A and B are shown apart, each in its own frame.
Chain A
Amino acid sequence: MDNKLILVVCGAGINTSTMASEFIKDELAKRKIGNVDVKTILINDLQRYQGRENMVIVFMTKVDTDMGVPSFQGLNFLIGDRETKLEIFENILDALGEKDGSS
Protein backbone atom coordinates (compact mmCIF):
# COMPACT_ATOMS: atom_id res chain seq x y z
CA MET A 1 0.00 0.00 0.00
CA ASP A 2 1.09 3.56 -0.67
CA ASN A 3 2.39 5.67 2.16
CA LYS A 4 0.03 8.15 3.71
CA LEU A 5 0.37 11.54 2.13
CA ILE A 6 0.19 15.13 3.32
CA LEU A 7 -0.23 17.35 0.29
CA VAL A 8 0.76 20.98 0.82
CA VAL A 9 -0.80 23.09 -1.93
CA CYS A 10 0.74 26.41 -2.77
CA GLY A 11 0.08 29.32 -5.10
CA ALA A 12 3.67 29.64 -6.28
CA GLY A 13 5.76 26.91 -4.66
CA ILE A 14 8.44 29.35 -3.59
CA ASN A 15 8.10 30.24 0.04
CA THR A 16 4.85 29.68 1.89
CA SER A 17 4.41 25.97 1.20
CA THR A 18 8.01 25.29 2.19
CA MET A 19 7.42 27.01 5.52
CA ALA A 20 4.51 24.68 6.22
CA SER A 21 6.07 21.49 4.94
CA GLU A 22 9.32 22.06 6.86
CA PHE A 23 7.35 22.40 10.09
CA ILE A 24 5.32 19.26 9.35
CA LYS A 25 8.41 17.23 8.39
CA ASP A 26 10.20 18.37 11.54
CA GLU A 27 7.33 17.30 13.77
CA LEU A 28 6.89 13.97 11.97
CA ALA A 29 10.59 13.25 12.47
CA LYS A 30 10.38 14.22 16.14
CA ARG A 31 7.61 11.68 16.65
CA LYS A 32 9.38 9.07 14.51
CA ILE A 33 6.42 8.73 12.14
CA GLY A 34 7.96 7.24 9.03
CA ASN A 35 5.05 6.14 6.85
CA VAL A 36 3.78 9.63 6.03
CA ASP A 37 5.10 11.51 2.99
CA VAL A 38 4.95 15.28 2.73
CA LYS A 39 4.70 16.73 -0.72
CA THR A 40 4.57 20.33 -1.90
CA ILE A 41 2.64 20.98 -5.10
CA LEU A 42 1.17 23.87 -7.09
CA ILE A 43 -2.57 24.47 -7.43
CA ASN A 44 -2.40 23.53 -11.11
CA ASP A 45 -1.12 20.06 -10.22
CA LEU A 46 -3.92 19.33 -7.75
CA GLN A 47 -6.13 17.47 -10.26
CA ARG A 48 -3.51 14.76 -10.64
CA TYR A 49 -4.15 13.67 -7.05
CA GLN A 50 -7.92 13.34 -7.51
CA GLY A 51 -8.94 9.99 -6.05
CA ARG A 52 -5.73 9.36 -4.09
CA GLU A 53 -6.57 7.66 -0.83
CA ASN A 54 -4.95 8.03 2.59
CA MET A 55 -4.32 11.67 1.94
CA VAL A 56 -4.96 15.02 3.62
CA ILE A 57 -4.54 18.40 2.00
CA VAL A 58 -3.09 21.55 3.51
CA PHE A 59 -4.05 24.65 1.52
CA MET A 60 -1.73 27.65 1.62
CA THR A 61 -3.99 29.68 -0.64
CA LYS A 62 -7.71 29.79 -1.32
CA VAL A 63 -8.72 26.85 -3.51
CA ASP A 64 -12.22 25.96 -4.64
CA THR A 65 -11.60 22.42 -5.88
CA ASP A 66 -13.23 19.76 -3.71
CA MET A 67 -10.92 16.75 -3.50
CA GLY A 68 -13.15 14.73 -1.21
CA VAL A 69 -10.47 14.26 1.45
CA PRO A 70 -9.88 16.06 4.77
CA SER A 71 -8.53 19.54 4.07
CA PHE A 72 -6.90 22.13 6.30
CA GLN A 73 -6.25 25.84 5.96
CA GLY A 74 -2.47 25.99 6.47
CA LEU A 75 -2.10 29.71 6.90
CA ASN A 76 -1.39 29.37 10.60
CA PHE A 77 1.84 27.55 9.73
CA LEU A 78 2.95 30.99 8.55
CA ILE A 79 1.39 33.38 11.00
CA GLY A 80 0.55 31.35 14.09
CA ASP A 81 2.59 30.89 17.23
CA ARG A 82 3.99 27.47 18.10
CA GLU A 83 0.88 26.24 19.92
CA THR A 84 -1.41 27.07 17.00
CA LYS A 85 0.92 25.29 14.58
CA LEU A 86 1.01 22.19 16.77
CA GLU A 87 -2.78 22.26 17.03
CA ILE A 88 -3.25 22.02 13.24
CA PHE A 89 -0.52 19.43 13.09
CA GLU A 90 -2.36 17.29 15.65
CA ASN A 91 -5.58 17.63 13.65
CA ILE A 92 -3.76 16.52 10.52
CA LEU A 93 -2.39 13.45 12.30
CA ASP A 94 -5.90 12.72 13.55
CA ALA A 95 -7.30 12.83 10.05
CA LEU A 96 -4.59 10.44 8.88
CA GLY A 97 -5.30 8.08 11.78
CA GLU A 98 -1.77 8.53 13.08
CA LYS A 99 -2.69 9.96 16.46
CA ASP A 100 -1.96 6.79 18.46
CA GLY A 101 1.29 6.08 16.72
CA SER A 102 2.79 9.20 18.21
CA SER A 103 3.71 7.82 21.61
Chain B
Amino acid sequence: MHTILSALEWFVGLGSSVMIAIVLTVLGTAFGAGFTKSLRGGIITGVGLAGLFLVVDLILEALAPAINDMATRLDLTLRLVDVGWADAGLAWSWPGTAGVILGIIAVNILMVVLKLTKTLWTDVWSYWHGQVCGAFVWTLTGNLTYGIIAAVIYLVIGSLLSDITAKRYQEYNDMPGIGVPCGPTVLASVFAIPVVKVINKIPGLNRIDASPEAIKSRFGIFGEVAVLGAIIGSVIGILAGYDIPGILNVGMNVAVIMFILPRMVSIIAEGLIPITMKVSEFVRGRFKNRELHVGVDCAVLLGHPSVMASALIMFPLSIFIAAALPGNELLPIASLALIPFFCGAVVPFTRGNVIHTVIIVSLLLVPYLYAATNMSPIHTETYAQVGMFEEQIEEGAMFGSFDMGGDPVSWLINQGFRLFK
Protein backbone atom coordinates (compact mmCIF):
# COMPACT_ATOMS: atom_id res chain seq x y z
CA MET B 1 0.00 0.00 0.00
CA HIS B 2 2.78 2.34 0.94
CA THR B 3 4.59 1.78 -2.37
CA ILE B 4 1.40 2.44 -4.32
CA LEU B 5 0.85 5.68 -2.43
CA SER B 6 4.37 6.96 -2.94
CA ALA B 7 4.24 5.95 -6.63
CA LEU B 8 1.01 7.90 -6.93
CA GLU B 9 2.54 10.85 -5.17
CA TRP B 10 5.53 10.82 -7.53
CA PHE B 11 3.16 10.64 -10.49
CA VAL B 12 1.05 13.59 -9.33
CA GLY B 13 4.26 15.44 -8.55
CA LEU B 14 5.14 15.35 -12.26
CA GLY B 15 2.60 18.12 -12.78
CA SER B 16 -0.73 17.87 -14.54
CA SER B 17 0.45 18.39 -18.13
CA VAL B 18 3.10 15.66 -17.97
CA MET B 19 0.77 13.33 -16.11
CA ILE B 20 -2.11 13.60 -18.58
CA ALA B 21 0.26 13.20 -21.55
CA ILE B 22 1.47 9.88 -20.11
CA VAL B 23 -2.03 8.72 -19.12
CA LEU B 24 -3.51 9.47 -22.55
CA THR B 25 -0.59 7.91 -24.43
CA VAL B 26 -0.94 4.68 -22.45
CA LEU B 27 -4.75 4.60 -22.61
CA GLY B 28 -4.86 5.53 -26.30
CA THR B 29 -2.35 2.84 -27.22
CA ALA B 30 -4.26 0.31 -25.12
CA PHE B 31 -7.52 1.20 -26.91
CA GLY B 32 -5.79 0.65 -30.27
CA ALA B 33 -5.54 4.26 -31.44
CA GLY B 34 -1.86 3.71 -32.25
CA PHE B 35 1.16 4.96 -30.31
CA THR B 36 2.01 8.04 -32.42
CA LYS B 37 -1.56 9.33 -32.53
CA SER B 38 -2.00 8.71 -28.81
CA LEU B 39 1.27 10.43 -27.96
CA ARG B 40 0.34 13.42 -30.11
CA GLY B 41 -3.08 13.55 -28.44
CA GLY B 42 -1.55 13.29 -24.98
CA ILE B 43 0.90 16.11 -25.58
CA ILE B 44 -1.79 18.35 -27.11
CA THR B 45 -4.04 17.85 -24.09
CA GLY B 46 -1.05 18.67 -21.86
CA VAL B 47 -0.52 21.85 -23.87
CA GLY B 48 -4.19 22.79 -23.49
CA LEU B 49 -3.99 22.24 -19.74
CA ALA B 50 -0.93 24.43 -19.39
CA GLY B 51 -2.60 27.12 -21.50
CA LEU B 52 -5.77 26.94 -19.45
CA PHE B 53 -3.87 27.50 -16.23
CA LEU B 54 -2.05 30.48 -17.79
CA VAL B 55 -5.47 32.06 -18.30
CA VAL B 56 -6.29 31.41 -14.65
CA ASP B 57 -3.07 33.22 -13.75
CA LEU B 58 -4.43 36.20 -15.65
CA ILE B 59 -7.78 35.93 -13.86
CA LEU B 60 -5.99 35.96 -10.52
CA GLU B 61 -3.68 38.81 -11.44
CA ALA B 62 -5.91 41.11 -13.43
CA LEU B 63 -9.55 40.37 -12.71
CA ALA B 64 -9.68 39.20 -9.10
CA PRO B 65 -8.24 42.42 -7.62
CA ALA B 66 -10.68 44.55 -9.64
CA ILE B 67 -13.65 42.49 -8.45
CA ASN B 68 -12.38 42.77 -4.89
CA ASP B 69 -12.10 46.54 -5.19
CA MET B 70 -15.57 46.74 -6.66
CA ALA B 71 -17.04 44.49 -3.97
CA THR B 72 -15.42 46.50 -1.18
CA ARG B 73 -16.62 49.76 -2.68
CA LEU B 74 -20.19 48.54 -3.14
CA ASP B 75 -20.20 46.54 0.07
CA LEU B 76 -20.89 43.24 -1.72
CA THR B 77 -19.81 39.82 -0.47
CA LEU B 78 -18.53 38.58 -3.83
CA ARG B 79 -15.18 37.30 -2.66
CA LEU B 80 -14.81 34.20 -4.87
CA VAL B 81 -12.55 34.18 -7.91
CA ASP B 82 -14.56 32.85 -10.84
CA VAL B 83 -12.28 30.33 -12.55
CA GLY B 84 -14.97 29.20 -15.02
CA TRP B 85 -13.98 26.30 -17.22
CA ALA B 86 -10.54 26.07 -15.66
CA ASP B 87 -12.26 23.25 -13.81
CA ALA B 88 -12.05 21.26 -17.04
CA GLY B 89 -8.32 21.39 -16.34
CA LEU B 90 -8.83 19.87 -12.91
CA ALA B 91 -10.64 17.00 -14.58
CA TRP B 92 -7.52 15.91 -16.45
CA SER B 93 -5.06 16.77 -13.65
CA TRP B 94 -6.21 14.65 -10.75
CA PRO B 95 -4.87 11.12 -10.25
CA GLY B 96 -8.26 9.45 -10.77
CA THR B 97 -8.55 10.43 -14.47
CA ALA B 98 -7.70 7.05 -16.02
CA GLY B 99 -9.74 5.14 -13.44
CA VAL B 100 -12.84 7.18 -14.27
CA ILE B 101 -12.45 6.69 -18.04
CA LEU B 102 -12.19 2.91 -17.65
CA GLY B 103 -14.84 2.82 -14.91
CA ILE B 104 -17.60 4.66 -16.76
CA ILE B 105 -17.00 2.72 -19.99
CA ALA B 106 -17.34 -0.59 -18.09
CA VAL B 107 -20.37 0.52 -16.06
CA ASN B 108 -22.08 2.02 -19.12
CA ILE B 109 -21.65 -1.16 -21.19
CA LEU B 110 -23.01 -3.18 -18.28
CA MET B 111 -26.01 -0.87 -17.89
CA VAL B 112 -26.79 -0.98 -21.61
CA VAL B 113 -26.54 -4.79 -21.65
CA LEU B 114 -28.92 -4.96 -18.67
CA LYS B 115 -31.21 -2.43 -20.40
CA LEU B 116 -30.96 0.00 -17.49
CA THR B 117 -30.17 2.89 -19.83
CA LYS B 118 -30.44 3.72 -23.52
CA THR B 119 -27.55 6.18 -23.41
CA LEU B 120 -24.15 5.26 -24.81
CA TRP B 121 -21.56 7.26 -22.88
CA THR B 122 -18.91 7.47 -25.58
CA ASP B 123 -17.95 11.14 -25.57
CA VAL B 124 -14.76 10.95 -23.51
CA TRP B 125 -14.42 14.72 -23.43
CA SER B 126 -17.75 15.12 -21.61
CA TYR B 127 -16.56 12.81 -18.82
CA TRP B 128 -14.91 15.90 -17.42
CA HIS B 129 -17.92 16.98 -15.38
CA GLY B 130 -17.87 13.68 -13.53
CA GLN B 131 -14.09 13.83 -13.21
CA VAL B 132 -14.31 17.15 -11.35
CA CYS B 133 -17.06 15.89 -9.03
CA GLY B 134 -14.76 12.94 -8.29
CA ALA B 135 -11.77 15.20 -7.69
CA PHE B 136 -13.83 17.17 -5.14
CA VAL B 137 -14.76 13.95 -3.31
CA TRP B 138 -11.09 12.87 -3.43
CA THR B 139 -10.15 16.16 -1.77
CA LEU B 140 -13.00 15.85 0.73
CA THR B 141 -12.32 12.27 1.82
CA GLY B 142 -8.64 11.93 0.99
CA ASN B 143 -9.57 8.66 -0.69
CA LEU B 144 -8.89 8.17 -4.40
CA THR B 145 -11.23 5.18 -4.76
CA TYR B 146 -14.13 7.18 -3.33
CA GLY B 147 -13.31 9.92 -5.81
CA ILE B 148 -13.45 7.54 -8.76
CA ILE B 149 -16.71 5.99 -7.50
CA ALA B 150 -18.24 9.46 -7.06
CA ALA B 151 -17.23 10.43 -10.60
CA VAL B 152 -18.80 7.29 -12.06
CA ILE B 153 -21.99 7.89 -10.01
CA TYR B 154 -22.20 11.42 -11.40
CA LEU B 155 -21.82 10.16 -14.98
CA VAL B 156 -24.36 7.36 -14.44
CA ILE B 157 -26.89 9.93 -13.19
CA GLY B 158 -26.16 11.89 -16.39
CA SER B 159 -26.97 8.89 -18.56
CA LEU B 160 -30.23 8.19 -16.69
CA LEU B 161 -31.37 11.82 -16.98
CA SER B 162 -30.36 11.80 -20.64
CA ASP B 163 -32.80 8.93 -21.18
CA ILE B 164 -35.57 11.34 -20.13
CA THR B 165 -34.47 14.28 -22.28
CA ALA B 166 -33.01 12.68 -25.42
CA LYS B 167 -36.27 12.27 -27.39
CA ARG B 168 -37.10 15.96 -27.14
CA TYR B 169 -33.60 17.00 -28.27
CA GLN B 170 -33.86 14.65 -31.23
CA GLU B 171 -37.27 15.96 -32.33
CA TYR B 172 -36.71 19.63 -31.69
CA ASN B 173 -33.17 19.86 -33.09
CA ASP B 174 -33.77 17.33 -35.82
CA MET B 175 -30.92 15.06 -34.75
CA PRO B 176 -31.94 11.41 -34.65
CA GLY B 177 -29.99 9.01 -32.46
CA ILE B 178 -28.36 11.46 -30.07
CA GLY B 179 -28.52 12.11 -26.37
CA VAL B 180 -26.68 14.70 -24.31
CA PRO B 181 -25.66 13.19 -20.98
CA CYS B 182 -23.32 15.97 -19.79
CA GLY B 183 -24.23 17.29 -16.37
CA PRO B 184 -25.17 20.96 -16.79
CA THR B 185 -27.22 20.24 -19.92
CA VAL B 186 -29.35 17.39 -18.58
CA LEU B 187 -29.80 19.18 -15.27
CA ALA B 188 -31.05 22.34 -16.96
CA SER B 189 -33.44 20.31 -19.12
CA VAL B 190 -34.79 18.20 -16.27
CA PHE B 191 -35.25 21.41 -14.28
CA ALA B 192 -37.07 22.99 -17.22
CA ILE B 193 -39.67 20.23 -17.65
CA PRO B 194 -41.80 20.99 -14.53
CA VAL B 195 -41.19 24.76 -14.68
CA VAL B 196 -42.47 24.94 -18.26
CA LYS B 197 -45.68 23.24 -17.08
CA VAL B 198 -46.14 25.89 -14.39
CA ILE B 199 -45.38 28.78 -16.77
CA ASN B 200 -47.93 27.49 -19.26
CA LYS B 201 -50.62 27.70 -16.58
CA ILE B 202 -49.95 31.34 -15.65
CA PRO B 203 -52.29 33.62 -17.64
CA GLY B 204 -50.46 36.30 -19.57
CA LEU B 205 -47.08 34.71 -19.10
CA ASN B 206 -48.06 31.68 -21.16
CA ARG B 207 -48.60 33.86 -24.25
CA ILE B 208 -45.66 36.22 -24.04
CA ASP B 209 -42.72 35.79 -26.41
CA ALA B 210 -40.01 37.84 -28.07
CA SER B 211 -38.71 37.17 -31.52
CA PRO B 212 -35.19 35.76 -31.40
CA GLU B 213 -34.29 37.40 -34.72
CA ALA B 214 -35.10 40.90 -33.46
CA ILE B 215 -33.00 40.42 -30.32
CA LYS B 216 -30.14 38.91 -32.27
CA SER B 217 -30.00 41.62 -34.92
CA ARG B 218 -30.24 44.42 -32.36
CA PHE B 219 -27.87 43.07 -29.71
CA GLY B 220 -25.94 40.45 -31.66
CA ILE B 221 -22.62 42.26 -31.19
CA PHE B 222 -22.82 41.48 -27.45
CA GLY B 223 -22.86 37.81 -28.36
CA GLU B 224 -19.24 38.17 -29.46
CA VAL B 225 -17.46 37.03 -26.32
CA ALA B 226 -14.58 39.47 -26.74
CA VAL B 227 -16.94 42.46 -26.97
CA LEU B 228 -19.03 41.14 -24.09
CA GLY B 229 -15.89 40.67 -21.97
CA ALA B 230 -14.61 44.17 -22.73
CA ILE B 231 -17.93 45.70 -21.68
CA ILE B 232 -18.29 43.65 -18.50
CA GLY B 233 -14.65 44.34 -17.57
CA SER B 234 -15.02 48.08 -18.13
CA VAL B 235 -18.15 48.21 -15.99
CA ILE B 236 -16.31 46.38 -13.22
CA GLY B 237 -13.48 48.90 -13.58
CA ILE B 238 -15.92 51.81 -13.32
CA LEU B 239 -17.66 50.31 -10.26
CA ALA B 240 -14.26 49.66 -8.68
CA GLY B 241 -13.57 53.39 -8.94
CA TYR B 242 -10.58 53.11 -11.33
CA ASP B 243 -9.26 55.86 -13.62
CA ILE B 244 -9.72 55.64 -17.40
CA PRO B 245 -6.56 53.59 -18.19
CA GLY B 246 -7.46 51.26 -15.32
CA ILE B 247 -11.02 50.82 -16.60
CA LEU B 248 -9.90 50.13 -20.17
CA ASN B 249 -7.33 47.62 -19.01
CA VAL B 250 -9.74 45.64 -16.87
CA GLY B 251 -12.03 45.64 -19.91
CA MET B 252 -9.29 44.34 -22.19
CA ASN B 253 -8.20 41.69 -19.71
CA VAL B 254 -11.72 40.32 -19.28
CA ALA B 255 -12.01 40.22 -23.09
CA VAL B 256 -8.79 38.19 -23.18
CA ILE B 257 -10.02 35.83 -20.47
CA MET B 258 -13.42 35.22 -22.03
CA PHE B 259 -12.04 34.79 -25.53
CA ILE B 260 -9.03 32.61 -24.76
CA LEU B 261 -10.38 30.35 -22.03
CA PRO B 262 -12.76 28.36 -24.29
CA ARG B 263 -10.00 28.11 -26.92
CA MET B 264 -7.72 26.45 -24.38
CA VAL B 265 -10.53 24.09 -23.42
CA SER B 266 -10.89 23.16 -27.09
CA ILE B 267 -7.18 22.28 -27.25
CA ILE B 268 -7.65 19.89 -24.33
CA ALA B 269 -10.62 18.34 -26.13
CA GLU B 270 -8.65 17.99 -29.38
CA GLY B 271 -6.08 15.80 -27.66
CA LEU B 272 -8.79 13.41 -26.51
CA ILE B 273 -10.07 12.72 -30.01
CA PRO B 274 -8.02 9.56 -30.77
CA ILE B 275 -9.37 7.91 -27.62
CA THR B 276 -12.93 9.13 -28.19
CA MET B 277 -12.94 7.78 -31.76
CA LYS B 278 -11.83 4.35 -30.61
CA VAL B 279 -14.20 4.21 -27.65
CA SER B 280 -17.18 5.27 -29.75
CA GLU B 281 -16.42 2.86 -32.63
CA PHE B 282 -15.83 0.01 -30.16
CA VAL B 283 -18.98 0.54 -28.11
CA ARG B 284 -21.09 1.33 -31.18
CA GLY B 285 -20.02 -1.95 -32.81
CA ARG B 286 -21.20 -3.91 -29.74
CA PHE B 287 -24.80 -2.69 -29.92
CA LYS B 288 -25.64 -2.49 -33.61
CA ASN B 289 -29.29 -3.54 -33.45
CA ARG B 290 -30.59 -1.66 -30.44
CA GLU B 291 -32.29 1.71 -30.43
CA LEU B 292 -29.83 3.71 -28.36
CA HIS B 293 -28.94 7.35 -27.86
CA VAL B 294 -25.30 8.12 -28.48
CA GLY B 295 -24.03 10.69 -26.00
CA VAL B 296 -22.65 13.79 -27.70
CA ASP B 297 -21.32 17.12 -26.52
CA CYS B 298 -23.86 19.76 -25.48
CA ALA B 299 -22.61 22.06 -28.27
CA VAL B 300 -24.98 20.35 -30.74
CA LEU B 301 -27.91 22.09 -29.05
CA LEU B 302 -26.61 25.63 -29.57
CA GLY B 303 -27.71 26.18 -33.17
CA HIS B 304 -31.31 27.32 -32.66
CA PRO B 305 -31.65 31.13 -32.96
CA SER B 306 -33.54 31.31 -29.64
CA VAL B 307 -30.45 30.03 -27.82
CA MET B 308 -28.20 33.01 -28.56
CA ALA B 309 -31.10 35.44 -28.15
CA SER B 310 -31.85 34.08 -24.67
CA ALA B 311 -28.16 34.04 -23.77
CA LEU B 312 -27.81 37.71 -24.75
CA ILE B 313 -30.48 38.63 -22.21
CA MET B 314 -29.05 36.23 -19.63
CA PHE B 315 -25.46 37.57 -19.68
CA PRO B 316 -26.19 40.86 -17.85
CA LEU B 317 -29.12 39.36 -15.96
CA SER B 318 -26.87 36.64 -14.46
CA ILE B 319 -24.57 39.27 -13.02
CA PHE B 320 -27.52 41.15 -11.47
CA ILE B 321 -28.95 37.97 -10.00
CA ALA B 322 -25.56 37.07 -8.51
CA ALA B 323 -25.12 40.54 -7.00
CA ALA B 324 -28.65 40.60 -5.59
CA LEU B 325 -28.75 37.10 -4.13
CA PRO B 326 -28.16 37.32 -0.35
CA GLY B 327 -25.34 35.09 0.87
CA ASN B 328 -24.00 34.38 -2.62
CA GLU B 329 -20.25 34.98 -2.98
CA LEU B 330 -19.67 34.27 -6.70
CA LEU B 331 -19.80 36.98 -9.37
CA PRO B 332 -19.94 35.01 -12.62
CA ILE B 333 -17.57 36.35 -15.28
CA ALA B 334 -15.61 33.46 -16.79
CA SER B 335 -18.56 31.21 -15.91
CA LEU B 336 -20.84 33.21 -18.23
CA ALA B 337 -19.49 30.97 -20.98
CA LEU B 338 -21.82 28.29 -19.65
CA ILE B 339 -24.96 30.42 -20.16
CA PRO B 340 -25.51 29.52 -23.85
CA PHE B 341 -25.30 25.85 -22.90
CA PHE B 342 -28.03 26.29 -20.28
CA CYS B 343 -30.17 28.07 -22.87
CA GLY B 344 -29.49 25.33 -25.43
CA ALA B 345 -30.68 22.74 -22.93
CA VAL B 346 -33.86 24.64 -22.06
CA VAL B 347 -34.96 25.87 -25.52
CA PRO B 348 -36.20 22.44 -26.76
CA PHE B 349 -38.59 22.38 -23.78
CA THR B 350 -39.85 25.96 -24.11
CA ARG B 351 -40.13 25.34 -27.87
CA GLY B 352 -37.96 28.35 -28.55
CA ASN B 353 -39.86 30.83 -26.36
CA VAL B 354 -37.16 33.33 -25.40
CA ILE B 355 -38.92 34.86 -22.39
CA HIS B 356 -39.76 31.46 -20.91
CA THR B 357 -36.17 30.31 -21.45
CA VAL B 358 -34.85 33.39 -19.65
CA ILE B 359 -37.18 32.80 -16.69
CA ILE B 360 -36.14 29.17 -16.35
CA VAL B 361 -32.39 29.82 -16.64
CA SER B 362 -32.66 32.67 -14.10
CA LEU B 363 -34.31 30.33 -11.59
CA LEU B 364 -31.73 27.67 -12.33
CA LEU B 365 -28.89 30.02 -11.43
CA VAL B 366 -30.03 30.21 -7.81
CA PRO B 367 -29.00 26.66 -6.82
CA TYR B 368 -25.84 27.00 -8.95
CA LEU B 369 -24.73 30.17 -7.17
CA TYR B 370 -25.42 28.80 -3.69
CA ALA B 371 -23.74 25.47 -4.45
CA ALA B 372 -20.69 27.30 -5.84
CA THR B 373 -20.47 29.37 -2.66
CA ASN B 374 -20.89 26.32 -0.46
CA MET B 375 -18.39 24.17 -2.40
CA SER B 376 -15.77 26.90 -2.56
CA PRO B 377 -13.49 25.57 0.24
CA ILE B 378 -13.30 22.09 -1.34
CA HIS B 379 -13.13 23.54 -4.84
CA THR B 380 -10.15 25.70 -3.86
CA GLU B 381 -8.39 22.95 -1.98
CA THR B 382 -8.71 20.62 -4.97
CA TYR B 383 -6.56 23.04 -6.99
CA ALA B 384 -3.98 23.00 -4.22
CA GLN B 385 -4.13 19.18 -4.18
CA VAL B 386 -3.15 18.94 -7.85
CA GLY B 387 -0.40 21.48 -7.24
CA MET B 388 -1.95 24.50 -8.96
CA PHE B 389 -2.01 28.07 -7.60
CA GLU B 390 -0.73 26.97 -4.18
CA GLU B 391 0.84 30.34 -3.54
CA GLN B 392 -2.29 32.36 -4.25
CA ILE B 393 -4.41 29.91 -2.28
CA GLU B 394 -2.07 30.28 0.67
CA GLU B 395 -2.57 34.04 0.40
CA GLY B 396 -6.31 33.48 0.77
CA ALA B 397 -7.68 33.26 -2.79
CA MET B 398 -10.98 31.35 -2.89
CA PHE B 399 -12.32 29.84 -6.12
CA GLY B 400 -15.81 29.33 -7.48
CA SER B 401 -17.53 28.55 -10.80
CA PHE B 402 -20.84 27.38 -12.28
CA ASP B 403 -19.40 24.37 -14.02
CA MET B 404 -18.44 22.39 -11.86
CA GLY B 405 -18.16 24.31 -8.58
CA GLY B 406 -21.86 25.14 -8.63
CA ASP B 407 -23.17 21.87 -10.04
CA PRO B 408 -26.08 20.80 -7.77
CA VAL B 409 -25.67 17.06 -8.43
CA SER B 410 -21.96 17.23 -7.65
CA TRP B 411 -22.88 19.13 -4.48
CA LEU B 412 -25.34 16.39 -3.46
CA ILE B 413 -22.81 13.62 -4.13
CA ASN B 414 -20.23 15.47 -2.05
CA GLN B 415 -22.72 15.79 0.80
CA GLY B 416 -23.24 12.04 0.61
CA PHE B 417 -19.53 11.30 0.77
CA ARG B 418 -19.14 13.50 3.84
CA LEU B 419 -20.43 10.43 5.71
CA PHE B 420 -17.28 8.53 4.70
CA LYS B 421 -14.90 11.29 5.67
A and B physically associate:
yes
Chain A residues within 8 Å of B, Cβ to Cβ: 10-19, 22-23, 43-44, 59-64, 73, 75, 78-82
Task: Give the interface size bracket for B toward A.
Answer: 35 or more
A78 — which chain B residues lie within 8 A by C-beta? 123, 178, 280, 294, 296-297, 300
The yes or no answer to B281 lying at the interface (CB within 8 A) is yes
CA distance A61 to B305 in the complex (A): 11
The yes or no answer to B349 lying at the interface (CB within 8 A) is no
Do A75 and B178 form a contact, CB below 8 Å, given A12-B262, A18-B269, A60-B299? yes
Stretch at the interface among B56-64, B70-78, B133-141, B169-177: B169-177
9 pairs from A and B in contact (CB 8 Å cutoff): A11-B340, A12-B302, A14-B262, A18-B266, A43-B302, A44-B220, A75-B178, A78-B123, A78-B297
CA distance A6 to B327 in the complex (A): 50
B270 — which chain A residues lie within 8 A by C-beta? 18, 22
A43 — which chain B residues lie within 8 A by C-beta? 302-303, 308
Do A16 and B296 form a contact, CB below 8 Å, given A62-B173, A79-B178? yes
Look across to chain B and name the residue whose beta carbon is closest to the beta carbon of A44: B223
A65 vs chain B, min Cβ distance (A): 9
Q: Are A11 and B276 in contact, with the CB atoms below 8 A? A: no
How many A-B pairs have beta carbons closer than 8 Å: the answer is 94
CA distance A82 to B280 in the complex (A): 10
Chain B 295-319: CB-based contact to A (< 8 A → 1; otherwise 0): 0111111111101100000000000
A69 vs chain B, min Cβ distance (A): 17
Look across to chain B and name the residue whose beta carbon is closest to the beta carbon of A79: B294
Most buried by B among A13, A14, A17: A14
Give which listed residue, A14, A23, A63, contacts B269 with CB less than 8 A.
A14
Look across to chain A and name the residue whose beta carbon is closest to the beta carbon of B284: A81
The yes or no answer to B342 lying at the interface (CB within 8 A) is no
The yes or no answer to B9 lying at the interface (CB within 8 A) is no
CA distance A22 to B300 in the complex (A): 17
B284 — which chain A residues lie within 8 A by C-beta? 79-81
The yes or no answer to B125 lying at the interface (CB within 8 A) is yes
Give which listed residue, B123, B281, B299, B344, contacts A10 with CB less than 8 A.
B299
B332 vs chain A, min Cβ distance (A): 18
Look across to chain A and name the residue whose beta carbon is closest to the beta carbon of B269: A15
The yes or no answer to B258 lying at the interface (CB within 8 A) is no
CA distance A79 to B224 in the complex (A): 30
The yes or no answer to B273 lying at the interface (CB within 8 A) is yes
Seed contacts A11-B340, A15-B299; 5 additional CB < 8 Å A-B pairs? A11-B344, A15-B123, A17-B299, A18-B270, A60-B299
Q: Sorted from nearest, which 4 A-B pairs have the closest CB atoms?
A: A11-B302, A61-B303, A79-B294, A12-B299
Q: Are A75 and B175 in contact, with the CB atoms below 8 A? A: yes
CA distance A44 to B340 in the complex (A): 13
A64 vs chain B, min Cβ distance (A): 7
Look across to chain B and name the residue whose beta carbon is closest to the beta carbon of A75: B175
Q: Are A11 and B299 in contact, with the CB atoms below 8 A? A: yes
Look across to chain B and name the residue whose beta carbon is closest to the beta carbon of A62: B303
Q: Are B297 and A16 in contact, with the CB atoms below 8 A? A: yes
CA distance A38 to B171 in the complex (A): 29
Q: Are B285 and A81 in contact, with the CB atoms below 8 A? A: yes
A61 vs chain B, min Cβ distance (A): 3
